[in-house]
Amino acid sequence: MLLLSHFYSEINSEPDKFYIMNIHEYQGKEILASYGVRIQRGIVANNAVEAVAAAKQLTAETGTGWHVIKAQIHAGGRGKGGGVKLAKNLQQVEEIAGQIIGMQLITPQTSAEGKKVNKVLVAEDVYYPGESETSEFYVSVLLNRATGRNMIMYSTEGGMDIEEVAEHTPHLIFTEEVDPSVGLQGFQARRIAFNLGLSGNAFKEMVKFIDALYNAYIGSDASMFEINPVLKTSDNKIMAVDAKVNIDDNALYRQPKYAEMRDIREENPIEVEAKEVGLNYVDLDGTVGCMVNGAGLAMATMDLIKYAGFEPANFLDVGGTADAKRVETAFRIILKDPNVKAILINIFGGIVRCDRVAQGVVDAYKNMGDAINVPIIVRLQGTNAEIAKELIDNSGMPILSAVQFQEAADQVKAALS
């Protein structure tokens, strides 16, 4: 399943990784089921033996004879990488689960190294024969930041790379915006079912499905629910066969049971370490490390780096405190990225005085010794900025100072040229 990424980026002004918590498919389905959404049932297994036991239990509970073995990682497109396979008997369940668990799964949404699979979902086969043909649909719920309204995006072309559908047949993608003052209305759910070409019991089932899905999205404080595919079974039931769910990080304080779903093995280890020490850090793909105070200044600093002709290596907000210990911690985290070739410190001295920040930078540099092997450019503006610049310039440390944005950009360019 692939995220409709370019549509999502167009209607959201900030990268989604800045404010979401990803969860596994089986966890997303647990949330859906708790709101009355029909799901493809499954049981999680950590090894091949557990997978066989799960298959036996599913057969007893659902009557399914075949089982789908699905790798559980935080990435879409698992089937293309060999992470989703059908097992027609218990021997195949054991063999396939043994092959998938422990593998480095590479998909269109992972890095070249892929992600290690630690568990699989053993799911029931829902493509059984019946009175009609099965049909697959795409349905997602997310926030349209441009309009300030939640939006249901859907298509008859479920199960496919939805990006391809958007590029080649955009007329097959529909949207339904929801007025937050009144919520999802019955006529909207019926319009979705109608546009998907459904009738009879399948139509009624889809109306219920959409209503329950939207309630799950709102109730869980999600930033996105993406179901691809939503299946119309051969006996005209509507169910979620897959589930990609992102929970808004800012709402986790009121969603403790969802906060417990976090799997740090799936997250960037540097980001996890930074979070543990209270730093707001997001790993990026560039070569210039960023240390700033304030999210707005961080975004401006990344623009500054791009203006200089380079790419930011991270988003790191040290907050209102920038003493020697905190700066040193930030240095060590940034330098764990081997791609970093220079570090730009851009601090506005409002709550914290610039001279204290400058002294913190100098002390941190002295404490770290040879651990810092890349150029450091420091731009301090605000209270006592001139004193701060003198401290940096007279420190005897190989630290470059700047006052204006353009000057900082020039320093970065000179250091990396």
Q: Does 296 score more than 90 pLDDT? A: no
**Cβ neighbourhood burial of 173 (10 Å; 0-12, 13-18, 19+):** middle
Helix (H, G, I), strand (E, B) or coil at 351: coil
Taking the C-alpha atoms of residue 115 and residue 73, their distance in angstroms, rounded to an integer, is 7
Catalytic residue among 8, 138, 154, 217: 138
Q: Which two tokens stand for residue 362?
A: 């100098």
In the predicted model, what is the mean pLDDT of residues 398-402?
A: 87
The span from the first CA to the last CA of the chain, in angstroms, equals 42
Q: Read off φ and ψ for residue 293, nearest 5 degrees.
A: -125, 115
Per-residue pLDDT tens digits for 332-391: 999 999 999 999 999 887 777 888 888 888 988 888 877 888 999 999 888 888 898 899
Contact 224, 5 (CB under 8 A): no
What's the pLDDT score for residue 402?
Answer: 85
Mean pLDDT of the chain: 90
Residue scoring higher pLDDT (18 or 394):
394
**Binding residue positions for substrate:** 293, 350-352
Q: Which CATH number fits domain 269-416: 3.40.50.261, 3.40.190.10, 1.20.1730.10, 3.20.130.10?
A: 3.40.50.261
The number of angstroms, rounded, from the C-alpha of 278 to the middle of its chain's C-alpha atoms is 20
Per-residue pLDDT tens digits for 119-139: 999 999 999 999 999 999 999
Task: Tell me the H-state helices in 101-161.
Answer: none
Q: Does 160 score more than 80 pLDDT? A: no
Q: Which two tokens stand for residue 15?
A: 């990268």
Q: Is 226 a catalytic residue?
A: yes
What's the pLDDT score for residue 176?
Answer: 97
Catalytic residue among 30, 176, 226, 271: 226
**Domain 41-125 homologous superfamily, CATH:** ATP-grasp fold, A domain (3.30.1490.20)
Confidence of residue 6 (pLDDT cuts 50, 70, 90): very low
What's the pLDDT score for residue 11?
Answer: 38
Q: Which two tokens stand for residue 278?
A: 């209270």
What pTM does this model have?
0.81
- Closest to 64 (Cα-Cα) out of 120, 121, 122, 126: 126
Contacts with 286 (C-beta within 8 Å, 6 or more apart), sequence order: 305, 310, 311, 312, 313, 339
- DSSP conformation letters of 268-286: -HHHHHHHHTT-EEEE-SS
User: What are the residue boundaries of the structural domains of the chain, listed by start?
Assistant: 18-40+128-267, 41-125, 269-416
- Same fold across 18-40+128-267 and 41-125: no
CATH no., domain 18-40+128-267: 3.30.470.20
Q: Which two tokens stand for residue 245?
A: 């769910």
**Binding residue positions for ATP:** 70, 77-79, 126, 136
CB-based burial, 394-406: b 16+ in 10 Å, e otherwise = ebeeebbbbeebe
What's the pLDDT score for residue 373?
Answer: 87
Per-residue pLDDT tens digits for 176-218: 999 999 999 999 999 999 999 999 999 999 999 999 999 999 9
Tokens 């546009």 correspond to what residue?
195
Q: Is 253 a catalytic residue?
A: no
Contact 3, 109 (CB under 8 A): yes
**Binding residue positions:** 70, 77-79, 126, 136, 228, 242, 293, 350-352
Q: Which two tokens stand for residue 315?
A: 């988003």
Q: Which residues sit opposite 164 in a β-bridge?
A: none
